Chain A
Amino acid sequence: MSGGRGAAVQRAIDFLSGPDAAKLDPARLPAQPDYEALVQRGSELGYDLSADGLRAAFALIIRARLLAELHTGNGTKR
């Protein structure tokens, strides 16, 4: 792995929010929390990832969606 944590998170964001995310097949991944399996799947698709980077990237993507939802006036349950 190269770069610091920020770079690892950015690579994970690129993976999860890029076109290769469409190749993520839920049926090929564990139904339990298992970031190493996602790392492996990313590796198969040519990405250099870490479990921590993926965890942080997923949280950031969801936060961004939540903000977008708030801005469209849909409110929030929380």
Chain B
Amino acid sequence: MNVARQPDVDLSPIGSLALLWDAVPESLVSKAARLRLEAAAARLAPIARIALEVRLGEGQDAVDLHQYISHSAADAAVLGRYLSQSGPPVPGEESARKFLNAWAGDAGGMRADFDGFFLEWDGPGTSSAGPPAIFLPVQARHGRDPDGANRRVMVARHIEQLGSAGALGAALLRAFPAEYSISHVGFMLGRGNAVRLNLRGIRPDDLETVLARLDWPGDIGQAKDHFALLVGLTGHVAVALDFAPAIQPAIGFEAVLPDFPAGEPRWHELLDRLCIDGLCTTDKRAALVALGARLYPEQQGQDWPASWIAAAMIAPPACVPWFERRLSHVKVTIGAQGDVAAKAYVSAQHHWYRGKSPEPQRPLLAPGRSHAPPIQDASNRAAAFLLAQRQQDDFWRDFRLVNGMSDEWVTGFVGYALATSGVAVPNALATQTVQALLRRQRPEGGWGYNDLSPADADSTTWVLRFLGAVGYAGPEVARADAFLRSHLRPQGGISTYAAATSLRFQGAAEAPNDEGWRSGHVCVAANAAAWIGEPLVAHLLSSQGADGEWAAYWWRGDSFATALAIEGLGSSPAAVESRARATAWARTRAATARTAFDRAWLIRILAGGGPLERDQARAMAAALAAEQHEDGGWDASAEMLFPDPAELRRRPDAPIVLDEARLFTAASALLAFAALQSCGDEL
């Protein structure tokens, strides 16, 4: 959301409801609830970013209403006008009004310290709603220990402006164990000033310890079961705990998935599970799956709200409005009596811009923040970025195809990068990652792009290389090795998918011709050679390109495959000339390589060359470190291809899929820095 350019115009949130109702059957939100919500929306500040919290069980008609207010000057101006016209607060709403006035007036510079906040009304009625809950962000996902502690203190200082309603929250933020990351703090002003803390990043194995440490009075076994199930289905579940002022027995688990259900198969698995457990009706499940859409007023069949048309005409010409409705997340709650229920959050938001980068620009690393040598510091930050991105089921996820995001392949790769980087990582990380991957090993011995995809040679290789790097040598390795070798081709090389593998995704029909995906791929051979050795070494020696590169099938550029090939060749004397040609190729490519991903792999090639090449690698590594963002990552730049299964050769027009989570690029940079370190450089 580009809040800096938000126009200062009123946008009725009723418009969001109007564009939502088309896709919401009465089984999800009844007519009576719609009337209540429209009446409640009419009482809100005219900011059209709302969400509905709908109950998923049978006969549950209550719907809560949420509104998001950003830190933009425009939202503050709209809010300020709204407050000035609202008259005095009704009894019970004084604290909320005080906070909203503070926000609109930027008291204490609070808008600089928060991206925004959520207001939440429980089951608002037709004529009144009672005071809302206010939810504020606390710690960033990538916040390191000192940053996280500082954020808590800062947030506590601001929320004390709520007066007595803020005192408990401020005290909790200051006293809560530092090792837990608090994503949001909520002030439930309509529930006796209770406070909610949302905790992120807790692994299922750790929940019992967390709850016991907090003296949580509920049934820990029951909580563990639900939490583990949700983490297994989504990898990303926040734990919501209430305090009033003592910790309460109710607990909530908020499970988040990216994208619409049409683009993320795990939504279907999650909702199916809720239906099986009797927590969601099939009608509501169907409605949630179908409602996601982005609407554009210039498209046929779109009737834009009349007041929004007026707003668009008042707004600057650079404003090009659109609207998104989507299933945001699902929450499973366990009540004080052990009763379990599920809710879904459906967002309905107006947007003003269609720029390519709807997220705020990520700040580049500020110079002079560390005393460590720059490349060592960049390496540490890259590792910290990767560790922070690991999901609660111990998988890393990146890329997005028709069959969802990759976890097995990406986890093998990222795990290998961390294990060989030389950067200190938590002791338990390797064991946890090994166990997560072993749980996914297929009966035939391999791993795949994810658990919805067939096992393949490349994913299996990365997992094997990771297992080797951390010294795991259980019987699973031999089974995986046999699976990998079954992809060797009699005519030389190795295929990504074996002839016997069924290439069927999400129940779709198999491609009529998948010869391309089953053919020999040099980029996979380059990777697998490091594990298998011969006969792939000989194959690599015979398949090097005229300019010294190895041509990838699955990647837009050849730096990755070429770097892997050099490593796969090992120290064979027969490979000396081949390695020299590849290094010469890398030197010629260094000046023109477009992406951080390609440059990282060129650094890895050049680091293995002579003094001149190492000098070049050092200079490139310094430049790569300078491009690192504050969070430790780089812009997504690993350009994977998704060719037609029939294509035998890489085509320049093959669809490109970027590492949208930026993990592949960060892991590649980490490996590049590690290569310099391993050749004796003082980083």
Contacts and interface: CB of A to CB of B under 8 A. Distances in A.
B310 A74 contact: no
Interface in A49-77: 54-55, 58-63, 65-66, 68-69, 74-77
B128 to A, nearest CB: 20
Given A58-B298, A59-B302, A62-B320, 4 more contacts: A24-B309, A29-B309, A61-B312, A61-B313
B297 interface: yes
Given A30-B305, A33-B306, A24 B313 contact: yes
A34 B10 CA distance: 17
A11 B302 CA distance: 21
A1 interface: no
B319 interface: yes
B10 A27 contact: yes
Nearest to A39: B306
Given A17-B313, A62-B298, A69-B354, A31 B15 contact: yes
B322 interface: yes
Given A30-B307, A62-B312, A75 B296 contact: no
B309 A38 contact: yes
B134 to A, nearest CB: 24
B61 to A, nearest CB: 22
Contacts of A34: 305-306
Given A16-B313, A26-B12, A69-B318, A77 B355 contact: yes
Nearest to B22: A33
Nearest to B13: A31
Interface of A: 16-17, 21-22, 24-27, 29-35, 37-38, 54-55, 58-63, 65-66, 68-69, 74-78
A66 B306 contact: no
Nearest to A24: B310
A75 to B, nearest CB: 3
Contacts of A25: 310
A55 B322 contact: no
Interface in B295-340: 296-300, 302-314, 317-322
A66 B148 CA distance: 40
A68 B317 CA distance: 9
Contact of A38 (B306, B318, B353, B356): B306
8 contacts: A24-B310, A26-B11, A26-B308, A27-B307, A31-B305, A68-B317, A74-B354, A77-B356
A35 B303 CA distance: 8
A76 B320 CA distance: 10
A78 B305 contact: no
Nearest to B321: A62
Contact of B18 (A31, A38, A58, A74): A31
B332 to A, nearest CB: 32
Of the candidates A32, A54, A63, A68, the one having the most CB atoms from chain B within 10 angstroms of its own CB is: A32
Contacts, number: 114
Given A65-B319, A77-B322, A32 B305 contact: yes
A-B pairs with the 10 shortest C-beta distances?
A75-B356, A33-B303, A31-B14, A31-B12, A24-B310, A26-B307, A21-B313, A29-B306, A62-B298, A29-B307
A22 B63 CA distance: 37
Nearest to A66: B320
Contacts of B354: 66, 69, 74-78
Contacts of A63: 298
Of the candidates A17, A24, A68, the one having the most CB atoms from chain B within 10 angstroms of its own CB is: A24
Given A21-B313, A74-B355, A58 B10 contact: no
Contacts of B298: 58-60, 62-63, 66
Contacts of B201: none
Nearest to B12: A31
B593 to A, nearest CB: 23
Nearest to A40: B306
Contacts of B302: 59
B217 interface: no
A34 B19 CA distance: 12
A25 B313 CA distance: 10
Interface string B397-438: 000000000000000000000000000000000000000000
A38 B317 CA distance: 20
B9 interface: yes
Contacts of B317: 65, 68
A16 to B, nearest CB: 5
Interface in B224-254: none
A39 to B, nearest CB: 10
A59 B303 CA distance: 10
A35 to B, nearest CB: 7
A32 B355 CA distance: 26
B186 interface: no
Contacts of B300: 59
A13 to B, nearest CB: 11
B296 A78 contact: yes
Contacts of B123: none
Contacts of A32: 14-15, 18, 305-306
Contacts of B308: 26, 31
Nearest to A62: B298
Nearest to A70: B354
A16 B305 CA distance: 15
Of the candidates B11, B310, B311, the one having the most CB atoms from chain A within 10 angstroms of its own CB is: B310
Contacts of A35: 303, 306
A5 to B, nearest CB: 15
A76 B358 CA distance: 10
Nearest to A65: B320
A33 B304 contact: yes
A54 B182 CA distance: 49
B262 to A, nearest CB: 16
Contacts of A75: 354-356
B46 interface: yes
Interface string B1-23: 00000000111111100100000
